[in-house]
Copies of this chain bind each other. A is one copy, B any other.
């Protein structure tokens, strides 16, 4: 990572207007024109001449920074993305300077950045809640659907004092939590309680909150799938804990073997690690598998027997593309096994950023927290309180995705058409890219049953591995960097997610718009052939 930091630092220095010499001049100028007196301290021992050196007075350096921060890595916005941003700027400043016209960001699940349109009904309601003063204007009926107006009235009435600009209850607005709980009940067929819902600014802060509660020191371990979404490794690093890996089996479509879990648990325990929780991502990120019900039951049972908190990342619950698989929440599975509130501590994370809505910028989400004693819930509430509340638009949107228009509502048809259009297109895109990848020499790719990603394995020739080593780069990063430089396609090296040692992967989203997919497939195919020709052993 040092290289990454050094590169980025150079970029920062280059783009900063505050180079030390220009700064000094500007300050001289500004201090003359300022209305503030600048007498008393300029005569002190700190003269202008001491200002030219870089940050010599800065008490903070890499050596004195919190080492947990240094340790934290976050690949989906890491080295390759920094390079992509640089190339994009070069393309803007000098069109034709690279063998492609645009950068295609396949590094992150950010659908609207690639042209996906928001769901109209959701945006109508959000706009009306942002400016309730127009709710009863006649023009509003010409601009907004009747059910969006009705829903906005309902929501505004659920907010104490109709104060859409006030901090809410620390867990979120009660009426919205009631709606979400009702949505969970409809989804699962089991009761849900609005007291269990904590609305959050996307799923990430919810994950951090749980890590904060669970991790006391590096002796505390959190079980994570490998490959994993790097939020988990980053959050565990920031909180000073230990990531205890369990491997998803690529050969069986990224299956999760409880026997492997047991083995890894024993190993971690024998090394003195107190494993406290198990993270499971379903549908999988970056792996795209949808867990079978059997598998989920086995995981629930394992957590219960071993006394682990089950942290269920279920943010892709709406993203299932294959007819033979279905999403089941872990709470539904646990309840169907007969396990109740007091039997298993379980946290389900949901987000408005994923699904067919893909409203990443709204930062809405929630966690449903069950199976914790009142004294622990009190502590969760306290931690939530320190940040006051999550943003109200995100809260409203979280309630909308759990309670979309229903048959008979004015918006239902257009809503359904938008939703089905997005999901069926995602399924086609996943299939097309998957097939293209599987046709490449040395590449195998499991099908994307759900989520938004492909995670192909690449058998890199020894020569490519050596070429990567020669430039002190991981082989998969080397591949992704070459891919980017040749095609403008931004993928994330598998090493950012974790992989079985000696194997190489990359993660690529299925999110570019459908009309762009053929060109992407062509570029990728051409690049790969050239790369293999260059490095074939």
Contacts and interface: CB of A to CB of B under 8 A. Distances in A.
Interface in A346-367: 353, 358-363
Contact of A168 (B114, B212, B361): B361
A387 B345 contact: no
A99 interface: no
B74 A204 contact: no
A525 to B, nearest CB: 26
A378 interface: yes
Contact of A53 (B61, B70, B342, B376): B342
A529 B375 CA distance: 38
A133 B142 contact: no
A408 to B, nearest CB: 23
Contacts of A193: 16-18
B332 A36 contact: yes
Contacts of A60: 213-214, 276, 309, 345, 372-373, 376
Interface in A168-200: 168, 170, 189-191, 193, 195
A389 B9 CA distance: 21
Given A54-B342, A378-B8, A36 B113 contact: no
Interface string A94-132: 000000000000001011111100101001101110110
A391 interface: yes
Interface string A36-50: 111011101010101
Contacts of A167: 108, 110, 113, 353, 360-361
A85 B388 CA distance: 16
Nearest to A361: B392
Interface in A52-76: 52-62, 64-70, 72-74
A32 to B, nearest CB: 10
Given A238-B383, A382-B74, A390-B363, A9 B342 contact: no
Interface string A315-357: 0000000000000100011011111111111000000010000
A530 interface: no
Nearest to A307: B59
B388 A163 contact: no
A146 to B, nearest CB: 15
Contact of A55 (B142, B165, B191, B372): B372
Contact of A195 (B15, B64, B74, B165): B15
Contacts of A386: 72, 74, 204, 231, 234-235, 238
Nearest to A300: B41
Contacts of A139: 139-140, 142-143
A127 B131 contact: yes
Kindly state the interface size class of chain A when it binds its partner.
35 or more
Contacts of A143: 134, 137, 139-140, 143
A115 B165 CA distance: 10
B161 A113 contact: yes
Interface stretch (A22-30, A441-449, A453-461, A497-505): A22-30
B373 A54 contact: yes
A168 B193 CA distance: 33
Contacts of A77: 170, 385, 388
A62 B212 contact: no
Interface in A428-446: none
A60 B370 CA distance: 12
A13 interface: yes
A398 B116 CA distance: 26
Contact of A238 (B57, B212, B301, B381): B212
B189 A343 contact: no
Contacts of A276: 59-60, 64
A329 to B, nearest CB: 10
Contact of A74 (B24, B40, B385): B385
A166 B361 contact: yes
Which of A30, A361, A394 has the most chain B CB atoms inside 10 A of its CB?
A361
Contacts of A62: 375-376, 379
A469 to B, nearest CB: 25
B69 A213 contact: yes
A164 interface: yes
A293 B336 contact: no
B204 A201 contact: no
A131 B140 contact: no
A426 to B, nearest CB: 16
A462 B91 CA distance: 75
Contacts of A392: 361-363
Given A48-B338, A66-B212, A391-B393, 15 more contacts: A16-B193, A16-B195, A23-B341, A38-B338, A54-B342, A58-B345, A67-B216, A69-B212, A69-B213, A72-B386, A123-B131, A123-B133, A165-B358, A201-B201, A362-B393
9 contacts: A12-B374, A20-B342, A48-B338, A51-B340, A55-B373, A60-B214, A69-B212, A113-B167, A114-B161
